[in-house]
Structure 1
């Protein structure tokens, strides 16, 4: 039984992101995976890493629980909108507060790169946006995806990291959204 953790980074419970996270969860559960979901908006934590890595900042209980769930999971599914070619502040704050030295990576004396503490895990990033994919890829160079995939997940050892980019959301028809939900259902059924 595969252990799947879905992290929903959209703060609006009525957003399409919530429907995507729910669809993936239900499909994975129906395929006999052990599935848990963290809706970041439900957590109580200060999203500001006040001292950087200079001095420790105590983790709130919700963050401690989230870290344990991430460590236990085999497959991480991140669902979030791309806003201003980046991730929402809530998700960025969650990453800043949980992807810490000794938790997701560890500095190595005399070495350029830290050791990766999330090795053995895989991930799926489901990104929604209003920017058409060709513009995001060729003109903007995939900033949110590159940061999240390479600068965060792969940096900490998560591989492979696959991406599903759904856009444009704002002008999408109900039929298009149904098709996207069917696509996410198939991914959830395979825990891919």
Structure 2
């Protein structure tokens, strides 16, 4: 299978990058092909400008958007790795969705206003980190809300089947042994899912 790993954390020494490395190694060990798009290191422009908006409506896709769309088109599985900041996606990843998952590429309106999902056949997997303890997010319904936003509101909206979603809480407060346990969970999910 071909995997596209999209990572949205500015620090290359972050735990999110450690997750990406461990996930990539586990996939490659199983013979999968992996492409990585580190949105910060490639300098992805996150703001959907009026110029972009008009170009997309005219079918004149800007080259940076076309590049990212090609990575998605080539992939069987999209994996997103990102921290939860202010109960949502980092701005750079939200901008990636705004610009890359464009009308006519990821979805369109069909007869009667029905939504046609244009990325059917692809699978989606997400790994999130957050500083808040997981039991607090569980108790207030935040994890469910986060899943609804990304798994349903983005992936499913475009036809991508969500196959897994991991949440790792208290990441800045836990020790290396606990972080290693989290990385092992990532490897276990790769083994289970792919």
- TM-score, with structure 2 as normaliser: 0.89
Contact 1:4/1:191 (8 A) holds in 2: no
Contact 2:123/2:160 (8 A) holds in 1: yes
Shift of 1:69: 1.1
For the residues of structure 1 that align with 2:153 and 2:51, how far apart are their CA atoms?
17
Q: Does 1:9 align with 2:11?
A: no
Q: Which residue is 1:81 aligned to? A: 83
Contact 2:52/2:62 (8 A) holds in 1: no
Please give the root-mean-square deviation of Cα atoms over the aligned residues, in Å. Answer: 2.1
User: Structure with the greater relative contact order (CA < 8 A, sep ≥ 6): 1 or 2?
Assistant: 1
Unaligned runs of 5+ in 1: none
Q: 1:56–1:140: structure 2 CA closer, same or farther, 3 Å change rule?
A: farther
**Structure with higher helix content:** 2
Shift of 1:54: 6.1
Contact 1:45/1:63 (8 A) holds in 2: no
- Within a 5 Å distance, the mapping from 1:100-115 to structure 2 comes to 100-111=102-113, 113-115=114-116
Contact 1:104/1:156 (8 A) holds in 2: yes
For the residues of structure 1 that align with 2:105 and 2:64, how far apart are their CA atoms?
15
For the residues of structure 2 that align with 1:95 and 1:149, how far apart are their CA atoms?
13
Shift of 1:53: 9.0
Contact 1:26/1:188 (8 A) holds in 2: no
Unaligned runs of 5+ in 2: none
Cα deviations by residue, 1:124-145 (Å, 9 ceiling, x for unpaired) = 1100001222322331433333
Contact 2:5/2:20 (8 A) holds in 1: yes
Cα deviations by residue, 1:10-53 (Å, 9 ceiling, x for unpaired) = 12111100000010001100100011111011224431112499
SS at match of 2:12: coil
Picking from 158, 174, 191, the partner of 2:160 is: 158
- TM-score, with structure 1 as normaliser: 0.90
